[in-house]
Amino acid sequence: MPYFVDDKMELKEDIGYFPLPSVSDKDVTSASDYWAHAGIGTGVRKDAMTDEMKNYFSFLFSKYADVCMYDFNTPPSMKPTIREDLSDLYQEMLDNFGNVNTYAYCWDVRIDAASNEVLGRETPNLALGNITPEEWAAALDEAVEQNVG
């Protein structure tokens, strides 16, 4: 986000924010679904989980969301403290995240390899305007039908 916002933490003039697009009522994801990053996945050996380590993690998890939001201008994977100086954009994003029905899955981890190849080939065409969203969806639907049935 830091590259997309101005010094007041509002979107730069040439950047937009919008919900996931829908193609039809058969879409698996809806406009209120969002992507979420994994946060701070952490593994600790059982024998290393000392009181000092527990205190460290308590400190880390109590600060993580606010440091992400206010020091690095990045929406965190945990709910931050809502402060008065939070920009309208970030407030809108957090409100939207609070209304998520489900979190969207990345296509490339949910579809077969052959269909993923079509996804990789057709997505740049969509982004460049060489095909319409409907053509992109049809190409993916056809690939999945052929490869998965």
- What is the chain's mean pLDDT, rounded? 85
In single-letter form, the type of residue at position 107 comes to W
% of the chain beyond a pLDDT of 90: 37
What does the pLDDT read at residue 27?
80
**Integer Cα distance of 22 and 25 in angstroms:** 8
Cβ atoms within 10 Å, residue 34 = 18
What does the pLDDT read at residue 146?
94
pTM: 0.55
In DSSP terms, which residues pair with 11 in a beta bridge? 5
Token digits of residue 149: 């049935």
What does the pLDDT read at residue 17?
77
What does the pLDDT read at residue 140?
92
Give per-residue pLDDT as tens, 67-118.
Answer: 988 888 888 878 899 998 888 888 888 888 887 777 666 666 678 889 999 9
- Whether residue 1 is predicted with pLDDT greater than 70 in this model: the reply is no
104's CB contacts (< 8 A; 6+ apart) are 20, 29, 33, 34, 35
What does the pLDDT read at residue 123?
94
Secondary structure tally for the chain: helices H, strands E: 4, 0
What does the pLDDT read at residue 132?
96
What does the pLDDT read at residue 54?
94
- Find the mean pLDDT for residues 29-54: 81
Task: Indicate if the alpha-carbon torsion angle 49, 52, 55, 57 is positive or negative.
Answer: negative
Cβ–Cβ < 8 Å for 39, 78: yes
List phi, psi (to 5°) of 36: -135, 135
What does the pLDDT read at residue 106?
66
- Find the mean pLDDT for residues 14-37: 76
Instruction: Give the start-to-end residue ranges of the domains of the chain.
Output: 42-103, 106-149
* Among candidate residues 35, 48, 51, 17, the one with its CA nearest the CA of residue 108: 35
